[in-house]
Structures are given as C-alpha cells and as structure tokens.
Structure 1
C-alpha cells in the first residue's frame, strides 16, 4: 500500500522560506487569533477528539474568560494566572484569555502532587489558578494548607462556560515584548526554573517553523504532549500562523499515535524523546504508509532508525533543535536527504547564531566537542526570580545550553551529550545519550536510561537501565547478548558494566526519562543488577590456573589519548596469572609505540594494585616455574622498551612481582591506601624481575629494608623515601596519572622517547639481572626452597585464619 497522493503544486504556504529571518508579520499571540477570527471566522482552529473549534468560537470564548478573570478576580496586567488542566480545549482557551488580559500564564503539570504544585504557586506568585473538577480537591488542599497562598483565587473551568461576559477582547495593550509565560522546565534535577517568555518568543517559533516546514492552511497539525509543556503551545501558535487546524490528542500512546495520524489526516507532527523508538517498536502494519504525512519534525531522531522511520511511514523525518530557553535554534529542511542517518541537527535558523565553545568560552576547532551556545531571537528574558541562574546561562548575550556538541566541516551540528548527563569514568567523559542511542538500536530493547554508578577505582562506572521488548527474557544471558552487540560499535570505556532490567520508566511531561526518579525508585526497590565485568569465581572444579580469562582480567581503554591498562581480578587482589602477564606485556607493547596513545597508565581495581604472582596457582613443574619467571621478565622488558611514558597509578597494595612492576614505570602515583610489600625473602624465595636494578636507583639504601627485611611501606613512608612521586585522592588518581602523561608529552614536541631512553636503565642492565635471577630461581626450584616458600605462605594464612585474622 502506498501513501495517499497529495498535490504539492496546489499547496499554499504561510511563510516563504526567504522570509525565515524576518520578524513575524503579527507579533503577538492575541493578534494572530484576532486576525484569524476576522479573516476566516469559520475555519477550524482546534480539534479535540470529535470536538472542533473555529477561530470565531475560540476568540469569543477566550474573550469572555478574559473578562471573567478581570472582573471577578481583579487581575491586572503583569499578574500571574496558573493553568492546571489536562489536554482539554479549556487549556488553550484559558491561555488565550490570560494573554488577552495582559496577564502572564503559568502552565502547571496536571500530574503534579501537593509539593510540586505548592512550589509553582509560591514561586510564580500566581493570583489565580484555573483547573477542573478532578484537580480541585488538591488545589484547595494546597492553598488552605499554606498561609502564603491564602489569597489565590480558584476558577473551575467547567463553570466558565455559563457566565455572561463580553465576547470581544478586553481593551488591554499587548505588545510583542509583553511577558506571556512563566514556562517551568521539566525539573529533572530538582525543582524547576521558570523561563520568562514573551509574545515575540511564541510568534517567532510559529513563524520559523511554518517557513522551515513549508506549512500552510492545507495542512493538518497534530500534537500529543501535555499542554503544560511548551510543544502544544508552539504548535497552537503554528496553527494560528499557518491557518492549519491543530489536532490535540489526550496523551501520547505509542500504539495509537499513527492510527490517530491517519484518522485525522495529519500532514505534520512533532515528536521527541523516546517517542520515535517507541513508535518504531510497535508491530508493523500493512497500513503504515496509508497516511497524509508530509513531514515530521523530531528532536533526537535515533540515527540508526532514521532511514527506517522514513521508509515505514513514507514521510521525511527531520531534526529540529531548541530549548525552552531559546525556542527553535537549528533544523534540517525536508528536502535535505543527506540529513538522513547523519546524526546532525542541521544548521541554525536565520535568526540564530550558534557557537561551540570550551570551558573558557572560546570557540573550539571544527570536530572538537564543546558546549553549544546560542544567540539571537527568540530567547527567554531570563529565569523568574533567579538572577544568578540567569547570569550563569545567559553570558555575553549567549545562551549556554549545557549540551555538548561537535560541528562538522560542512557546518552541521551533532550532539554528543549533556554536560550534566555524563558518566565520568576514569579520565573519560561518557555521554549517556550516546550509549542510550546505541542500546536502543538493538531489537531486544524498547528504551534505556544510562546513569553513573559509583566505583572505587574509576570514580564512576556506566550502568544501563533497560526496558526489553515483549517476549524477551530478562536474565544475565540477555544482558550479556545486548551488551556484546553494543560493544561492537562503542569504545570499550563506554560499554555499560551494569545492566538492570525495568518494566517502565518514570518520565517528565516531555516524555524524557526522569533519571533522579529512576535512581530513587531503584534505591527504594532494587532489582537484579548484572555486573558484566565481574570475573567468574574460582572453584576447586574450575581452578584458576586452568582458566585463561586474561582478556577480561587485563583491560585497556584509551582515555584522553592515554592507554589505561587495568588489572581486574579484585576477588584475588588482582593476582597475576601467567596468561594475564602475557596479555599485560602484549598491551604495553601495542600501546607503547606511540602510534595509538601518547602514554600508558597501569592500575588495578578494588583495594589492590596487584598481589603479584597468583600463589593459588603456583608452578608445579620446572617448566611452569620458568614460564612464570619469564612472563614477569617480559612485562619489565615491555615497559623499558616503550617510547611513551608509563605511569603506575597504585590504588592499593602492590605485592611482590606487582610491586616490582611499578618500579619499571616512569612514575608512581598513589593514594593514602597505597602500600608496597615485597615478601619474597621472608618466604625464602628469590626476588623477581627488576628490583635488584631499579630499587637502588629510586630509594638507594632503602632497597635493602624492602627486599631483605620484607618490610611493608605505607603511602606516607613511600613518599618520604621517593618510592611514590605523589599521593592523591582515590577518585582523582587516574585523572592525575593521565595529566602526568600529558605534561610529559607536550604537543608538537617529539623528543620524549629520547629522554625516556636516556633516563631509564638500559635493557642490557635488565637482562644481566634476569640472568642472575634465573640462575637463582633454578637453584631455588631444584632445592625445593621455592615450593617450600609457597607452602609456608599458605601455612601462615591458614594459621592466621584459624586465629581470626582478617585476610
């Protein structure tokens, strides 16, 4: 089946594309309504279900209500009137009435409870609230319970239809710069702020969207968001601007939305948030393309679904970007086929200037992420009662959006995340939006929300709440399969570690997930959380020496152009098996050339950098003993031979061979919990790899106490004698290590590798130490001292455990 034919040649447009940068011909919302009522009084303006309202009817009804507010409640220009109604015709009629009276509208979410309602009424200083029978008990309870609200009048919308008031507009001076709304933001991070929006703000959005979408009186517009949110309001002004009727649905329903598009013959609609994904996840129908849609504007079209969305419903989908603070800023025209699947927001509208800046406000180079800032019209006047917030957001006549964006070489803008919706994992910022988009491309996923999960080592880890498609089993296997597929297209550090399945999400009025509410719900009633990086526990039936999980236990992620290699075996204090050591050497060599990273940072998870040799899988043959020693030697060789700085970020205890690995590094940064311990001599074992060469270079005479006395050195003592270069807070450890690499590898300077070669011990010195050590190891093995030393370690632990000592 195909899309019904629409004769494009006969269509009329309200705003020619060449006029997009001009000011609207009529600069007030009330002026647009009056003009429509005068020119086309019988034309349909609003449609709620089967109920239709003409311009003439809407104009007369709103005028009567405006007079009621003035005469019965004494409101005057500049006063505030709150509107707490669901999606019924009384909402836009009340809005028109409030604006005709020269009063400021205060939209209130109809799902608010007492605390939220009280806040908005008090913050706005509303004189009157217009509501319905369903909300009257709550409204009266809130007003009666707060002396500060004692004077607030209450209007039942049902009672306004029987009053006798003039059907002509009050004689009130309303201009483009007259304040029209205190529009509260969605409030996903606490109590919302109110944007001060003028008539010019609303009429410019209507004018710009009409021109950008090529709309006119032959179109039918459709909206499904709550009227308290800004979208149905600008859609109403769009209808007034174009002469096209606006169909208002009671609420968004993924299963019924496209059915309503067909039923009402809608030619244009706007969707946002999770709506595109939820729509596409509905079962396909043979009548999907039986509709009159000419185009869809959308905020955040899922890139991978873009072409499929157009193919399924037979209409172009184009990005439009804006905020409550700024209206409309960027868009892609319907005839721009190159925009499909590009992930870009298009280009600025003619009345806006967009710039991407760094933390200091300087414009960043093309291709570099920065904060998206906007100047031009329309723009809010500021935040009501919040001068400091206004000053933070509106700086140098520019709105700082809080969105992180990149500009391509063609001037297109692509969002990569929110400044306040990032996971700070190690030294890397992970944009929640990017990971969510990747997850939602999976057929098994309906919707997701990515949040930060605290982590002792990395500061934060990536956690994904996932709503599954019908029939998909919510178990670990599903979590692993989804994350496995996502990992193919994301950098390793962006891949979620934790997955928690949910049946739904708490949402804001704009259909965005409320992450604070989601996290609060998870804390109150936690579900099953799958840790997809936790190593499988070792058992007698599955001994660690027969399980090679090196790829999961030694991980590498490039963070700020630095390779962070992490030992991840926290249940064993990150003890190193031979396969782990081989992988560690291979990764150091891979990233040590300078081609893939400017430096390397070695660290561990949990409370240990590493416990060195895994004595739970001690060598049982001469060959295994030789492999063990050789694999430690090779880690040292790999570090010494790199052409980039190697920094040890020692998050906890570094024991034996692990302590000695840190000595090979060019710097050792620790935390207050850092501790060095080389117990081999006390166990009758030979020191391994490079202690004999490197310790004296670092700590001189203190080398003897470390090796021969097997003395534990805590962080402060290690710093005093020069074994540690710096002690930093645990949460800052990786960032500081990465900063050190950057400081040692300045841009446009290429002599770092030469200095490293001069400053480090020569590989010949190291090899001579290895020869002596290997000979001692052979003697230790053949004499039985090595095996006895390992057994002595286990005997001591058994005795300590029996006496109640902690591990």
Structure 2
C-alpha cells in the first residue's frame, strides 16, 4: 500500500467501531450456527437497523425477519413444503430473492438458486435435477416456467409462485417451529455449467455462516459499515455477502447488475465501505476513464478474486483503499486470503495463505507433495466445505478424495509461503511439448492499455499439436485490424517466452461470461465456430489468400482505415463469387463492426474487376434444405446491414451480379467507377431475387425496378447513376478513399447518425415481408423445375462468354 493510501485509510478507520469478529477469532466456530438464528438475533438486538437496500428502498432486520417468517408459514401450510424439500428461486436482483431464501430455510427447505437468464434447456434440467416442489419467479419469466412445466416430464406437481403477490400477508410473523441446525442442508448451489450441465453443490447452514464469519474476521468490518454487491443473487457472492451482513449487523446494498461504467458512482452514492469483485471486474473498472472524484468515496476494504498483478498498486492508488486477494470455490467457500495489514501482498500475485480452518497441499498427478516453486494441483481440506454433489456421488468422489478437495487449479508455493496461481489444469495450451498457462498469457495481454479483456485458448495445429490463440476485446476507438493485433502481440511478447506468444488473434466485441463474471471459454469457442470472426494469423506459416478454401468463408479480408472497416471480397479469379460460408462470415463481421464501438462505419468492396458475381453457382443448392440455407444467408447480410448503428457504403469497383448487386441495395450509399456494372441475368432464368430487393429496388429506382428485374439488362455506370443505383462515380484509385470519406462526413463528433439511419432505412416489418414473398417465389420456382433449369442455362451462358 502506498503512503498516500495508508494515510487516507488511517483517516477513514479512525472513527470506526471495533470489528464484530476480531482477527484472532478467525479460526473459531461461529457464535451462531445457522442463518435463520442469525436473522432472528439481529431482529431482536437491532430491529430497526437497515439490513437490505435495493435501489432507493430499504428493509430493516425486523422487516425481513417478519416477512420471511410469514412466507415460511405459507410454504408449509399452503404449498405443503416439508423439511428437505427444494424451493427454486428464479429472479433477478430484487429483494424477494433473499427473503425467499431465508423463508425457505426457516421452513427447513433447501433453496435452489436458478440463474435468471437461463433458457428452456438449463431451466428444465435444474428443476428436474433438484426435484423442486415450489418455484418462485416473476412475470417476465413466468411464461418460460409455465412452458417448461407443460412440456417436460416429471414436473407436473411443481407449484409456481409469482413474487408480485407471494401470498404471505395473512400468515404469522414468528418463525415456524422447524428444527434447523448447522448441518442442515441450506442450498443446492449449481455451478455455472460452462462444461456441460451444471452440478449442484450441497451447502449447509454451517457453510454459509462460517463463510460470513471468516470474511467478517478478515475484513474487520463493524455495524457502521455498508456492504455492496452487484453480481447475480443466484451466484454465491451476494449470498455470502448476506451472511456477512447478518454476522456484523450492517446493511447490504444490492445493485441490479454489474456495470463497469457506473459501479464506482454507485459505491459513492450508497457510501459503501466494502465490496467484493472478481474475474475481469477489476480490469474493467480500471479501464474506465479516470475521474476527479475517484477517491471521493468511503471504501475501507476491497476483497477480490483475481487482482491483476500489474494493476494492483494502481487500483489502490486510484480509489484510495486496500485491495486484498481471497480465494475459494463454490465447493469450498473460502480457503486462502491476504491480510489487509500485509502491504507486501500488493502486486505480488499471491493468493495468500490458508484460513485457520483449512489445510492446503500442492500435489502432482499421483497425489505426492511437490517442492516449493514447482507447479502442482491445489488440494484443500477443512471447513467450510460442500457435503458433495447432489445426485452425483461419482463426480463428488472424483473431486473429494480422502477428505481433500481437488480444485483443478495449478499453483506454486512461493518463498514467502504464499500460494500463487499458475492456471487451470484444463486451461493449458500444449504447444510443441511446452505447456502454456492461458492465465499467464492473458495477464500479459491485459496489461496493454488498448486491451479491455483477453481469453487464450488452444488452436489445433498439424505441426505443433496446439497453437496459442487469443480472443481480445479492445478499448473503444481502437481499430480492430491486423496492425493492432501485431502491436498487441509484440508488446506482450516482451514479457513472455517465445513459445507462449499468441500466433492467432481474433477481436471480439464482448465475451460470454459465467454468473461469476469469468469468461466462459467453452461458450466462447462454440460462438467462434457458429459465428466465426476475423482471425489474424501472425505466425510464419500464414495462410495466403489464394490458399483459402470456400468452406471456411475465408475469402473475406478486413482492414480498418481511419476508423472505418473496409471489408474486401478476395476471390478475383471467380469474380468474388460467394458461397454460403462466406456470406455468413460477411454478415458476422458486419454485425461485429456495426455496433459502432470500434469503427465509424463500414465499406464493402471487391478485389479485381468484380464487386462480386453473387451466388457461387459452382456450389449451387441441390436440395430444398440447401436452397433455404442459401436464401437465409443472403437474408442474413441484409439484416446485418440494416441493423447496424453506423453507415454502410458499397464501393462498387466493377461488376455486381445478381445477389451481389442486391447486397449493394441494402447499403446506405453506393459509390462506383466507370467499370461499375449491374447485371441480374438470373431473374430471367428462374433464380429469384432474395435480399428484400422487391422492396429496396422500388425505394431506390422506382419504376426502373420493373425493367431491371424482368428485362435483366446490363446497367452501366452512367445509367446506374442516372436512375439512382449509384450515388457517385469516381476514379478507380479514389474509390475506397471516397467511400471512407463518405462515412467520416456522415459521422461527425457528437452525431445522431444511428438515429437517422433507423429513420431512413426501410422498417424491419417491410423487409421481413419481402423476405417471405421472395422465399415463397423461390420455393415455387424450385418445385416447378424452373430454378434448376435456370441455373443450368446460366452456367451454359457463362461458358460461352455471355
């Protein structure tokens, strides 16, 4: 901790009362064994003291005690809940969440937190797996719950309660006489499920009470402190924050969600003195623009899991409070911590030392302790600890062996006896015999000012087995081009061994995340397969354009010039004809840049003498399913363009045939050269238009649309300019520059371009109606045989030079 921070903290702590749980009590058993007794005690000794604050409303300990007691009676008397029955809670961050949790526990039931963003498959799994008797939800999710109950076997007896009227009002305000002790099961806490369906950790009252007790002792918080949390309540962090608030008798502020741009403003507004963040949250906070009021807060302590080593001191200096590492898992609660008095922990990368109730070992795959400084798996025993995985004794036996929890984290023991994280056993890249820890490479990348967040994964490689690939989220305004990728990797390479430096870089607008705000790499890799972005290959064995195959959509190159994304079709030997994969990739890239987060606009163009020959008729549809896929991929481009928040300009460098000419109609401007030529020969041969051209052509060229479609003439540049297909004709060497200039002219500082685009472009309903008509026409042409014959005639005509 710097002298400035230390002095400021001394001033902040001067008037604070003594901690409720003293540091010397860290290894003792909690004074009160259950969460329900803790609430009862607080309601007796400080009934009017604030307990929970959501938005501008707050509730006292007495308020929550009586509400949860009434609701517990309702569960027993109206819903027939008995001790051990499961009660599911599918809600966002609203006060009903902790009330229902505590009510379920008073009824002797087991709470089943359900991620409020779950869709059908995940929700059905959790409800079936847990065997929930009752589910609490709200109007926004009640339809989904009802649909799952109506269509899934085994859920017919589940009662659903809408929290808008929980029906608790008539019931007694005193807790029901249900015996609950420290060993009573409190939660089935489902893990985030990033590697398949989640597993439910069986967590007792002792788990939660002990977790609150330990964190109270670690932080030294007292009754006058104010706690704040922003993670989803279905995740464990707001729940242990609730246990902490009950332990020390202090209020807990619950934000609707985590927002890096508003988080510290909320901390100041609520006069919070403590909060906990994890994963990427510290980096996202630090990369917000500095503000004069940064240190104008009352924060005394911050606990964090995953403090960036290079930012640790800067985090403390910027907000004027000590940040300390705490380590744990859903399975084990809390295991390691760095004391707030330990200034040497700042920037050390240490996870700290074990809490007194835990023992840790660092072992090799055979379970043997490894020497200090050697990497091994962290294994843990002691309290708190889950009782096992619900319905999964085999899974529990794999991770809980002889009383030791195998965490899957690779660590080393430091010379100061602290523990330092190296990576996950399953989160390593095996490159040519060398092990590369993803977390180390990510940390090096994220130290770069232009990088918001990074995720490193293994990419299969024929020579080395695996290569290092980095997905990178850039700061606003940084161009997502090859030059940026090269610069980032070059800077990271100064900190990494040569074999650890990423070969591949793919820029992303955001990351899929778990409820704990960690990047979900399985979801990230699945997204990259479904919606591939532009991957920059920075290795020596770079794929040349000519060596690409159509199957991966690889004929599209991306450059960012003057903060404008230029998307170029590079298949000149085939007149830049596009297959389905290329069209899907084009739509994906347009959507990525179309948010306006990294560029001001988009330019579409082609290489060689053709903008594009449209559909690649060398790989024409041969089945109904392929036909529908082909049309859908054209529709996807239209939707992508019309939904952007930035201008899209077509730089029509030459021939624009069929579907390609239709793509230009979706653009906000079309700039061409004397070589520009529009041609739709397929219309006369039964290959119908598909890109909402039946709407767009009429909007652009009025009555000329009829002869252009039915007569299929070649429309040269001058004619295209006259009727409105082109907005401007320029010299070939000025084409891209003029298209970029147009984007820049249309997006001045502080502009409302996105609003105007939404007003000027055709409405979604109009476009979708056109798609439906065009799909029907295509289907009829397909059924009649005209379409197949037309394709054959078109290929024959091309063979004779037509």
Same fold (TM over 0.5): yes
1:12·1:218 contact (CA, 8 Å) conserved in 2?
no
1:534 Cα deviation after fit: 3.0
Task: Output the CA distance in 2 between the equivalents of 1:190 and 1:439.
Answer: 28
Given candidates 318, 335, 346, the residue that maps to 2:341 is: 335
1:537 Cα deviation after fit: 8.7
1:303·1:343 contact (CA, 8 Å) conserved in 2?
yes
Given candidates 259, 262, 280, the residue that maps to 2:265 is: 259
Matching of residues 115-130 of structure 1 within 5 Å: 115-130=121-136
1:44 aligns with: 50
Say whether residues 1:199 and 2:201 are aligned partners: no
2:267·2:297 contact (CA, 8 Å) conserved in 1?
yes
Given candidates 500, 504, 509, the residue that maps to 1:503 is: 509
1:79 aligns with: 85
1:226·1:232 contact (CA, 8 Å) conserved in 2?
yes
Deviation string, structure 1 residues 426-457 (Cα, Å, up to 9, x no partner): 22221111111111110010011111111112
Task: Output the CA distance in 2 between the equivalents of 1:334 and 1:18.
Answer: 14
Deviation string, structure 1 residues 700-753 (Cα, Å, up to 9, x no partner): xxxxxxxxxxxxxxxxxxxxxxxxxxxxxxxxxxxxxxxxxxxxxxxxxxxxxx
Given candidates 108, 131, 142, the residue that maps to 2:114 is: 108
1:9 Cα deviation after fit: 5.1
Say whether residues 1:321 and 2:327 are aligned partners: yes
1:229 aligns with: 235
1:57 aligns with: 63
1:162 Cα deviation after fit: 6.1
Aligned pair in 2 of structure 1 residues 538, 46: CA closer, same or farther (>3 Å)?
Answer: closer
1:166 aligns with: 172
What's the TM-score once normalised by structure 1's chain length?
Answer: 0.66
Say whether residues 1:274 and 2:286 are aligned partners: no
2:199·2:390 contact (CA, 8 Å) conserved in 1?
yes
2:305 aligns with: 299
Task: Output the CA distance in 1 between the equivalents of 2:428 and 2:174.
Answer: 52
Task: Output the CA distance in 2 between the equivalents of 1:317 and 1:282.
Answer: 18
Q: Show structure 1 runs of 5+ residues with no match.
A: 540-807
Task: Output the CA distance in 2 between the equivalents of 1:456 and 1:207.
Answer: 53
Query: Greater shift after overlay, 108-117 or 451-460?
Result: 451-460
Task: Output the CA distance in 1 between the equivalents of 2:46 and 2:498.
Answer: 60
Given candidates 434, 437, 445, the residue that maps to 2:443 is: 437
Task: Output the CA distance in 1 between the equivalents of 2:98 and 2:419.
Answer: 34
1:233 Cα deviation after fit: 0.1
Task: Output the CA distance in 2 between the equivalents of 1:434 and 1:8.
Answer: 39
SS of aligned partner of 2:154: helix
Task: Output the CA distance in 2 between the equivalents of 1:119 and 1:531.
Answer: 40
Task: Output the CA distance in 2 between the equivalents of 1:536 and 1:409.
Answer: 43
2:749 aligns with: none
Task: Output the CA distance in 2 between the equivalents of 1:375 and 1:137.
Answer: 43
Say whether residues 1:21 and 2:27 are aligned partners: yes
What's the TM-score once normalised by structure 2's chain length?
Answer: 0.66
Determine which structure has more spread, i.e. the larger CA radius of gyration: 1
1:398 aligns with: 404
Say whether residues 1:188 and 2:194 are aligned partners: yes
2:499 aligns with: 493
Say whether residues 1:213 and 2:201 are aligned partners: no
Given candidates 477, 480, 489, the residue that maps to 2:483 is: 477
1:753 aligns with: none
Task: Output the CA distance in 2 between the equivalents of 1:400 and 1:227.
Answer: 26
Deviation string, structure 1 residues 754-790 (Cα, Å, up to 9, x no partner): xxxxxxxxxxxxxxxxxxxxxxxxxxxxxxxxxxxxx
Q: Show structure 2 runs of 5+ residues with no match.
A: 546-802
RMSD: 1.5
Say whether residues 1:466 and 2:479 are aligned partners: no
2:222·2:248 contact (CA, 8 Å) conserved in 1?
yes
Deviation string, structure 1 residues 149-180 (Cα, Å, up to 9, x no partner): 11111011111166311111010000000000
1:536 Cα deviation after fit: 6.8
2:456 aligns with: 450
Deviation string, structure 1 residues 118-153 (Cα, Å, up to 9, x no partner): 000011111110111111000010011012111111
Say whether residues 1:92 and 2:108 are aligned partners: no
1:532 aligns with: 538
SS of aligned partner of 1:522: helix
2:763 aligns with: none
1:399 Cα deviation after fit: 0.3
Task: Output the CA distance in 2 between the equivalents of 1:14 and 1:369.
Answer: 38
Task: Output the CA distance in 2 between the equivalents of 1:140 and 1:534.
Answer: 55
2:432·2:464 contact (CA, 8 Å) conserved in 1?
yes
1:6 Cα deviation after fit: 2.3
Task: Output the CA distance in 1 between the equivalents of 2:191 and 2:542.
Answer: 46
2:71·2:168 contact (CA, 8 Å) conserved in 1?
no
Deviation string, structure 1 residues 390-410 (Cα, Å, up to 9, x no partner): 001000100000000000122
1:11 Cα deviation after fit: 2.0
2:16·2:224 contact (CA, 8 Å) conserved in 1?
no
1:379 aligns with: 385
1:538 Cα deviation after fit: 10
Say whether residues 1:417 and 2:417 are aligned partners: no
SS of aligned partner of 1:41: coil
1:49 Cα deviation after fit: 1.0
1:347 aligns with: 353
Task: Output the CA distance in 2 between the equivalents of 1:421 and 1:75.
Answer: 42
Say whether residues 1:249 and 2:258 are aligned partners: no
Aligned pair in 2 of structure 1 residues 538, 117: CA closer, same or farther (>3 Å)?
Answer: closer
Query: Greater shift after overlay, 8-17 or 331-340?
Result: 8-17
SS of aligned partner of 1:401: strand
Aligned pair in 2 of structure 1 residues 41, 475: CA closer, same or farther (>3 Å)?
Answer: same
1:285 aligns with: 291
Task: Output the CA distance in 1 between the equivalents of 2:229 and 2:285.
Answer: 14
Deviation string, structure 1 residues 216-242 (Cα, Å, up to 9, x no partner): 101100000000000000000000001
